[in-house]
Amino acid sequence: MNKAFDRNALTKAFAVIGASGQVGAVVAERLLANGHRVRAISRSMERIRELKAKGAEPYITELTDAEALSKAFSGCAAAFTMIPPNMSAPDYREFQGEVGQTIADAISASGVSHVVNLSSVGAHLPSATGPIAGLHAQEQRLERIAGLNVLHLRAAYFMENTYAAIRSIQTMGSFVGAIDAQTSLAMIATRDVGMQAAGFLSALNFQGHLRRELLGSKDLSHRELVPILGRAIGKPELSYARVSYDSLKEMMAQAGMPEKNAELIAEMVRGFDSGLIKPLEARSPENTTATSIEVFSNLFAARYRY
């Protein structure tokens, strides 16, 4: 049986994991703007000083500390959860498993009744999706918690992933990537994900185990994407240079990424190219979000010039 919805919950605190990150910071800021109390969970006080100044209650802890997380969740109306990216970990899937289990244990111990969990398009698949398979496993962990109401936000490919190509543009004059230029992807700005998550938390009107895909403003291929970004940075002639999956792994290894993790990224890219990783829902007003690639290109340009 699902835990009963407490109509007084909106006067309580909301815990936000990854409050210093691209999605979590937006969740926390929006909840604060809506008049809610926020417990901002982060590894670093420095990174959440602005949130603290806005009224958030900081909780500084490692996500492998179940006791500390349980205290952060205790008494909260709901929590926003995610497994943060950490591709420098020796084995990212092992890292996902450890952090994911700790989060699940802390939620179970704290008695939190509602969770909005950041997941990904493709998380319905248990394998062959690189790091996304770890999010599939986390969905399963959370759904095994008795009585927990959980909404998994299966977000599309983050527009911010394009930041990884800035160095190749600056040093080689091309946007270098391994995905086929013709592969069409649903792409979303992280801000839109955070806004959606905060909205669901504020309403707190979901029950059971639910999944919601978030697909951005429209689907884009890199053939369409790169010229838009090029114009934003004053390089209208910017081209896309595709490398092989093996070359991608070599490039990531040279940048210091452990071999296991580089293989995971390559596996994910293959999944996008093959059509294995794709949305299950047809595009609709409910899963289409506001930020266009043209608007995002201004953020890309600012990062490029930084």
In this predicted model, what pLDDT tens digit does every residue of 151-182 receive, in sequence order?
999 999 999 999 999 999 999 999 999 999 99
Q: How confident is the model at residue 5 (pLDDT cuts 50, 70, 90)?
A: very low
Over residues 71-98, the pLDDT tens digits come to 999 999 999 999 999 999 999 999 999 9
Q: Which residues contact 3 (CB under 8 A, 6 or more apart)?
A: 113, 147, 148, 149
Contact 123, 135 (CB under 8 A): yes
Distance CA(299)–CA(233), nearest Å, equals: 10
Strands 13-17 and 37-42: parallel
The predicted structure's pLDDT at residue 155: 98
In the β-sheet with 218-220, what is the strand arrangement from edge to edge? 157-158, 185-188, 218-220
Domains detected in the chain:
9-156+190-214 (3.40.50.720), 218-305 (no CATH)
Mean pLDDT of 137-141: 98
Q: Whole-angstrom Cα distance, residue 11 to residue 227?
A: 47
CA-atom Rg of the chain in angstroms: 19
Instruction: Give the CA count within 13 Å in the CB-facing half-sphere of 89.
Output: 16
Q: Residues of 184-208 as b/e, b for ≥16 C-beta within 10 angstroms?
A: bbbbbbbbbbbbbbbebbbebebee
Evaluate if residue 6 carries a pLDDT over 50.
no
What is the pLDDT, as a whole number, of residue 4? 41
- pLDDT attached to residue 12: 72
The whole-angstrom separation of Cα 43 and Cα 80 is 16
Angle (CA) 30 43 106, round 5°: 80
pTM equals 0.95
pLDDT band per the 50, 70, 90 thresholds, residue 11: low
Q: How far apart (Å, rounded) are the C-alpha atoms in residues 42 and 56? A: 12
- For residue range 20-36, what is the model confidence (pLDDT) as tens digits? 999 999 999 999 999 99
Question: What are the structure tokens assigned to 84, written together?
Answer: 């943060």
Q: Is pLDDT at 3 greater than 60 in this prediction?
A: no
Residue 60 has what pLDDT?
96
**Coil vs helix vs strand at 270:** helix
What per-residue confidence (pLDDT) applies to 2?
Answer: 41
Is residue 154 within 8 A of residue 121, CB to CB? The reply is: yes
Tokens of residue 76, six digits: 């909260």
Number of H helices, E strands in the chain: 11, 12
pLDDT in tens, 239-261: 999 999 999 999 999 999 999 99
Spatial separation of the C-alpha atoms in residues 104 and 70, rounded to whole Å: 10
End-to-end alpha carbon distance in the chain: 51
pLDDT at res. 114: 98
DSSP state of 284: -
Give the residue carrying structure tokens 């703007």.
Answer: 33
pLDDT in tens, 114-124: 999 999 999 99
Indicate whether 9 pLDDT > 60. Answer: no
